[in-house]
Copies of this chain bind each other. A is one copy, B any other.
């Protein structure tokens, strides 16, 4: 990591929109060193009043659905809409091997967007658990907002519970699907379709145009089986081709309609307040769990206890009480 700065140097740089300092501040919040964490917390504390003024869009879909191409095309469409628009793209990928701070992986994936003067692309920090990646992505998102990015796209490849993590940090959650009506849902995890505010069947081009239209029709009637969202929004299903850049205007207009509804009926602010409380609880529990599972007695006994419990030779309740007794209860 480059030389550390003072909190106010980071904050000044971020607020002035300095992309290099923004990138360095994100690298700082991604660090797990205690000294870096303390500095990062202070930076976060100072930028907080300057965050929140963006629309946060989460995007998920199975590998091969064309997420990068879609984000590149959607991003270009969004940025063309006005010279004041600025877009940051973040990823949640707990399997990421990209070295911290490098954007090499994404440069090759979202070429044009990465070169755009009003776009900023940042991959997942490497070597962290999903909880860690999600927590750092939230902080990166807030830093981008403080730096003046008014559109944030958070993308996930759908490993583990990462769709839920992305859903819980966004204002609108978009699911990309492939043409083919039904069977490709095999690759989508349970509950993901129900979380979507907007479903887009991508690759609706050439011979896939008709299958995509049928798939969209199919999903549209399937979505009727789901309970209505608490904010009165009925999820929409569209087709598009990121490759041919068709259907993007429709996606964009649904995004705007969704945000307008959510902002006017108060559900936008409610969802954000709920998310902030959720981030707090998760941060608290993640910290508590990290501390607990690093205790020497737990590190020593947990594995053998788990095996005995799965085999059925030890009561799960007794095993838990035994471990707690020796660690926290007796303290």
Contacts and interface: CB of A to CB of B under 8 A. Distances in A.
Interface in A219-233: 219, 222, 224-228
The count of identical subunits is 2
A317 B222 contact: no
A306 B193 CA distance: 31
A85 interface: no
Nearest to A302: B284
Contact of A306 (B277, B306, B309, B328): B277
Interface in A21-39: 37
Nearest to A272: B312
Nearest to A219: B225
Given A191-B191, A279-B316, A280-B316, A227 B291 contact: no
Contact of A283 (B37, B227, B285, B317): B317
Interface residues of A, number: 63
A186 B187 CA distance: 26
A310 B188 contact: no
A331 interface: yes
A37 to B, nearest CB: 7
A243 to B, nearest CB: 26
A289 B291 CA distance: 13
B321 A306 contact: no
Interface string A297-310: 00000000110011
A37 B226 contact: no
B292 A280 contact: no
Contacts of A277: 306, 309-310, 316
A256 interface: no
Nearest to A224: B182
Contacts of A321: 37, 41, 283, 287
Interface of A: 37, 41, 44-45, 48, 52, 135, 138-139, 182, 185-191, 193-195, 218-219, 222, 224-228, 272-274, 276-277, 279-280, 283-289, 291-292, 305-306, 309-312, 314-321, 323-324, 328-329, 331
Given A41-B315, A185-B227, A276-B312, 14 more contacts: A41-B321, A182-B225, A190-B194, A190-B227, A272-B312, A276-B310, A277-B310, A279-B316, A280-B306, A280-B320, A283-B321, A286-B320, A287-B324, A288-B324
